[in-house]
Structure 1
């Protein structure tokens, strides 16, 4: 990924800080993906004592992880302080119900996935739901994940693939050649990065989830509500003019079906293990590296 497509993290932080108070109202996709990640955990036998929720948002996944693993301590980490504040307020309001999972205030820290403020070999499990798409160098993130995981620790994550918001991207292509929509990393490149980062037995799969809206404004309003602005360093500066916006809206109408406009999300799932015996991934005698890819039907 070239630097023009790098994420401007200061913009990402500001967007999520601003969206925090109303994030849960629009985070339908995030909740659905978290549920589907949880279903994957049903088939994996782990008993973590310390879990890192990397990109924890408003704490929805952290709460679910505490219910699933009541003996574990969950560390919530997010780039945006506003998100953590909302999570802490939820815990405060529900202290009577959630106290048995905490015992005391939950552990939260504001930090960057590419520079985790955690000690080496300190975490049994990392969970990261729809956060990796905001980083610039996946190799760096996976190196950090591997650094803080204990030997035999597990990483489970979801992120967005390059076909995400393809309708919106094509609609803006009718306006100009600028990049109005964030670009995301391909599943196979992420799998390669896991291997390069020394993870063992990585498994990747992908599915497409389609959200529907009455009009293009509703699509953009939803994206704004969850803080998902175009945050690329090479994004167009300034507001889109009325004429250009109308051109994009008209182009989006081509995709209308059954009275609704679709917004497609390519959701990529992955999990892998930290193994001290893995030398940058499993290697066959002929030198080939092995990674399993599973493509879910649309």
Structure 2
């Protein structure tokens, strides 16, 4: 039986491609989370040679990282061509004193990046658009060098809880988001050491339900689950959505809650080994003395 919460990657890619032009104007949460992630780097001792921004969006995260780590080479990876096109516009000035980033259009779950070629993987609110957390973390672990840093933020189960409750149960209207503790377990399975995870809640406020939906559309966050309602939503659905959402109104505003899980972890000193493969050590034989 097919998982109704599985992400339709083709639909998701098209949504973000179309949203790229107006993305920055609506990406309020993404900016706030980016600044929080950057502030957490203040206590991290790292001088990365290569930084991969996995799910780079319009490129502002990688731009900030390359300004901080001036000797680093950047890789901007995103599944949507439109997002990469917007990213490229941020970087012409790098040509004068720093190598321009490489731009890669690919899925985080299967990245065309060489094994053990990256010192730091950064990902701001992109992992939640993947179907298999274990596959994502295995890919992050694969591309990272020994003593490499993984730093990402993703959405937790409380995200858009108001919209989920107001939408009813006839179809999947909001994606399924993974609990912090399950992410921690997946990090361990992928071979990361010393993972640190914590949660922050952000609340954006709106005047109407339509404003909530417009903002989600503007950042490309359409419902891309296979269990979504097919076709256009009718007037009855929108009327029921307005009515259901009104119970959450406080001080004249409608809230949209986002649970953000912040993660950082290290690869440790051991080189990457593919799942199911155990390294074999050969110890030189000592000849017996005659």
Shift of 1:216: 0.5
1:15 aligns with 2:8: no
Gaps of 5+ in 2: 274-290
Task: Indicate the residue corresponding to 1:204 in structure 2.
Answer: 197
Asked if 1:213 is matched to 2:209, the reply is no
In the TM superposition, residue 101 of structure 1 has moved relative to its aligned partner by 5.2
Task: Determine helix, strand or coil for the equivalent of 2:119.
Answer: strand
Q: How does 1:40-119 map to 2 (within 5 A)?
A: 40-92=40-92, 95=93, 98-100=94-96, 102-103=98-99, 105-119=100-114
- 1:286 paired residue number: none
Give the C-alpha shift of residue 26 in structure 1: 0.3
2:225 to 216, 221, 232: 232
Q: 1:99-178 alignment to 2 at 5 Å?
A: 99-100=95-96, 102-103=98-99, 105-173=100-168, 176-178=169-171
Matched, 1:29 2:29: yes
Find out whether 1:180 has 2:173 as its counterpart: yes
Structure 2 SS opposite 1:245: helix
Residue 270 (structure 1) aligned with residue 263 (structure 2): yes
CA distance in 2, matches of 1:196, 1:100: 42
For 1:279 and 1:85, locate their aligned partners in 2 and report how far apart those are by CA, in whole Å. Answer: 32
Per the alignment, in what secondary structure is the counterpart of residue 102 of structure 1?
A: coil
State the aligned residue count.
273
User: Helix, strand or coil: the match of 1:108?
Assistant: strand
Provide the C-alpha distance between the structure 2 equivalents of 1:37 and 1:229, rounded to a whole number of angstroms.
Answer: 25
- How far has the Cα of 1:172 moved from its partner? 0.5
Name the Cα RMSD after superposition: 1.8
Question: Normalized against structure 2, the TM-score is what?
Answer: 0.90
Distance in 2, matches of 1:68 and 1:245, equals: 46
**Larger-gyration structure (1/2):** 2
Normalising by structure 1, we get a TM-score of 0.88
Secondary structure of the corresponding residue to residue 179 of structure 1: coil
